[in-house]
Amino acid sequence: MIRINDILERLIDVNPDADLDIVERAYIFSARVHDGQVRLSGEPYLSHPLEVAYILADMKLDVESVAAGLLHDVIEDTHSTEEEIKESFGPGVCHIVNGVTKLSKLTFHTAQAREAESIRKMILAMADDIRVILIKLADRIHNMRTLQYHQKREKQIKIAQDTFDIYAPLAARLGIYWIKNELENIAFKYILPDEFEKIRTLVDKSREGREGFVEEVKQLIKKKMESVGLKCHVLGRYKQYYSIYNKMVTQDLEYEEVYDIMAFRIILDTVSQCYEALGHIHSLWQPIAKKFKDYIGVPKPNMYQSLHTTVIGPKGERIEIQIRTQEMDQVAKSGIAAHWSYKEGKVVDEKVNKAYAWIQNLVENQKNVKDPDEFLENVRIDLFPDEVYVFSPKGQTKALPRGATPVDFAYLIHSEIGNECTGARVNGRMVPLSYILKNGDTVEIITTKGHTPSKDWLNFAKSVKARSRIRQWIKTQEKERSVSLGKEICEKAFRKYKLNFNQLMKSEQAFSIVESFGFKTIEDLIANVGYGKISALQVIKKFDPKTEPEKPSLLTKLIRRPKKAKSTEGIVVKGIEDILVKFGKCCQPVPGDPVTGYITQGRGITVHRINCIHALKMNPDRQIDVEWSKEEGETFPVRIAVHAHDRFGLLADITATISKCGANILHANTKSLDNGIADAKFTIAVSDKDQLHQVISSLKKIKLVQSVKRVDRQ
């Protein structure tokens, strides 16, 4: 267990002049308010803030950050108040502790909304004071290290998945790769325990016979550098288990085919020495084409710098070598924490502020996004990107998400240039707007005054800024059309019942009716009539509940359905009762899938998964919100594809496994290919998404099964 003296000694190592008083007082305060509390491990609760504070001290953060680490959960978990912290430790520490506390206190009706708001708060916290996120990451690291003390497997998986989806990528974006690697590795252990154990066993087995090889390579590198007068430090290490597993999955490799399980690092004093060392490594061993990356000349957005090369080393083995300075190595280990300093009230220099301007951009991009799904999609693009670097005609370097197009580049320069973009030249040649930009491309945008964005651009635009601006323009245009159409529909409908639409919309009653539909303005209500999401008759009934329809509208035609049919079929259409519902055969949604509805004239509402290719092409005017009902007992068909090495008894094992999971096989189609591979497609009946995942997970464990996945009808 970490002691307070360990933390103080680490702070002195980093800064001999550090004022330790605030840290010592924070320790005494934390010990007092946490007295009597214990963790799931049985240890005193104080062990947790001590571990968090030590991690922060080890990251070389200032004393204020370390003190805040000792106090990070006192407001949430004890009777301590914000005012008490501010009075005892000053506004700086209080501000950080309060920021961490706000990230923890989140209560929402849906997991999606909770996740969206959690990330939104983290973005705002990062923009306000990056130390809040650094403490949150240190907190998560220690909680993951003690995850085994959670008794429920479901809880362990949930925490591990959140860590994997949010905290590990966040650490990578901040350049703190040791945290990213450790979080991924522990999460991997709990999410996929069988695969983790398999990789661990393989690495341990290969390590036994390769320790000598690692030492041999290190000595050869040292000898070569010494012979040319370059003083250096050489390290050799095995890659993290998850990194190896991810490479095996994404590149469809066996363990024996992953050539860079070991990586070597050469650390020197200057940048010029790094390039000189690279030349000597390439003279010693043959470099592999397209496996060289210069992150010194073009650093990553999180300020990571290094030269990466892969060579054919001793015994014909491929080895990865990273070459960097000591300063670069510190940045690679600590990321933004290596630069962050609050000495004498000053923040980081302009260079660091510029490198992390993406945090402010992220805040700006997300300000007006209300829909949780769209917000999460945008954040994942913006927060966890894989960049491509291109040049403006003036030679300025611009970073864009991998897969970006000239449209993304145009919006990156200015929203107006994006809106008026009509063409592009890349490296002097005309290209379509859907052209995928590559590293080193020089991009020139052609604009036409008065031109407007196209809805089709959403099919290939990748950056959040471009997609947000295009959507904003489309929504503005659609709303204008819908308001005009909705007003026309309402005026005609109100006249039928001898009501004055314009006069009623100015009455006090109108505002309460608008709120009853869940809208903020009368214009929003009228627009939704134009969209087709609510009918004019529904609005009329709010003004006069006794109103009876003279003629059936589209929605009232829809709700006239056979009496013998089930009332809900597992779906609730928001705001409408007793309506004909059917499920898209293309994507076969099951309970648990995020879904949307599509009004089909005379045939009720068709429900699709929101990522279904047909749903994405829907006319938004006919889209309607739907959700799964809480009724149980129904089953839903879904297609799965199994890819395996053929063997005797394979089909019997597959069908038995599906049955054990409680699912029924509705249809099966199997075939054996000439290369000894068996392809099988099944349509099975499941009750919800969880049961489907259980089936897929169980099938993956069958001997010689290579892959199992859910498939849509093409």
| pLDDT tens string 612-632 | 877 777 766 667 777 787 666
Question: d(Cα 365, Cα 358) in Å, to the nearest integer?
Answer: 10
Q: Which helix (H) or strand (E) holds 397?
A: strand 397-401
Query: What number is the average pLDDT over the span 245-252?
Result: 77
Q: What is the pLDDT of residue 165?
A: 77
Q: What is the pLDDT of residue 444?
A: 94
Buried (b) or exposed (e) across 478-491, using 16+ Cβ within 10 A? bbeebbebbbebbe
Q: CATH 3.30.460.10: which residues of the chain?
A: 195-337
User: Tokens 């349509």 belong to which residue?
Assistant: 683
This prediction's pTM? 0.53
Query: What number is the average pLDDT over the span 238-248?
Result: 82
Residue 249 has pLDDT above 90, yes or no: no
Q: How far, in Å, are 264, 354, 590 from residue 300 at the CA level?
A: 20, 13, 41
Question: d(Cα 455, Cα 396) in Å, to the nearest integer?
Answer: 29
Q: What is the pLDDT of residue 402?
A: 79
Catalytic member of 6, 24, 43, 77: 77
Q: What is the pLDDT of residue 111?
A: 54
Largest separation between any pair of C-alpha atoms in the chain: 99
| pLDDT tens string 278-310 | 999 999 999 987 788 899 988 876 678 999 998
The whole-chain average pLDDT of the chain stands at 80
Superfamily assignment of 195-337 in CATH? Answer: Beta Polymerase, domain 2 (3.30.460.10)
Dihedral sign computed on CA atoms, order 624, 627, 631, 634:
positive
Which amino acid is it at 286?
A: Q
User: With 0-12 CB in 10 A as exposed, 13-18 as middle and 19+ as buried, what is 671?
Assistant: exposed
Q: What is the DSSP string of 486-520?
A: HHHHHHHHHHHTT--HHHHTTSHHHHHHHHHTT-S
| pLDDT tens string 492-532 | 888 888 888 888 888 888 888 888 888 888 888 888 777 66
Which percentage of the chain shows pLDDT scores above 90? 22
Which amino acid is it at 245?
A: Y
Q: How far, in Å, are 65, 341, 592 from residue 26 at the CA level?
A: 11, 20, 45
In degrees and rounded to multiples of 5, residue 713 shows phi and psi of -80, 130
pLDDT band at 341 (very low <50, low <70, confident <90, very high): very low
Cβ atoms of residues 339 and 330 within 8 Å: no
| pLDDT tens string 112-161 | 555 556 566 666 666 667 788 888 899 999 999 999 998 888 889 888 88
Q: What is the pLDDT of residue 358?
A: 58
Query: Under the phi-then-psi rule, with left for phi > 0, alpha for psi from -120 to 50, and beta for the rest, what region is 671?
Result: beta
Q: How far, in Å, are 67, 141, 148, 168, 240 from residue 184 at the CA level?
A: 27, 10, 16, 6, 9
| pLDDT tens string 382-426 | 555 567 778 888 877 777 887 899 999 999 888 899 999 999 999
Q: What is the pLDDT of residue 425?
A: 93
Cβ atoms of residues 604 and 579 within 8 Å: yes
Q: What is the pLDDT of residue 362?
A: 58
Give rounded-to-5 percent helix, strand, coil for the chain: 50, 15, 30
Residue 349 has pLDDT above 70, yes or no: no
pLDDT band at 351 (very low <50, low <70, confident <90, very high): low
Q: Is 269 a catalytic residue?
A: no
Please name the residues in contact with 115: beta carbons below 8 A apart, sequence gap of 6 or more: 166, 372, 376
| pLDDT tens string 445-482 | 999 988 888 888 988 998 878 888 888 887 777 777 77
Q: CATH 1.10.3210.10: which residues of the chain?
A: 4-190
Catalytic member of 24, 43, 76, 216: 76
Domain 4-190 class, CATH top level: mainly alpha
Q: CATH 3.30.70.260: which residues of the chain?
A: 636-710
Q: Does domain 636-710 have CATH number 2.60.40.10?
A: no
Which percentage of the chain shows pLDDT scores above 70? 81
pLDDT band at 559 (very low <50, low <70, confident <90, very high): very low
Q: What is the pLDDT of residue 405?
A: 94
Q: What is the pLDDT of residue 381?
A: 55
**376 or 277: whose pLDDT is higher?**
277
pLDDT band at 357 (very low <50, low <70, confident <90, very high): low
In degrees and rounded to multiples of 5, residue 682 shows phi and psi of -125, 145
Q: Is 76 a catalytic residue?
A: yes
| pLDDT tens string 26-37 | 999 999 999 989
Query: What number is the average pLDDT over the span 42-70?
Result: 90
Please name the residues in contact with 177: beta carbons below 8 A apart, sequence gap of 6 or more: 171, 304, 332, 333, 335
DSSP class of residue 56 equals H
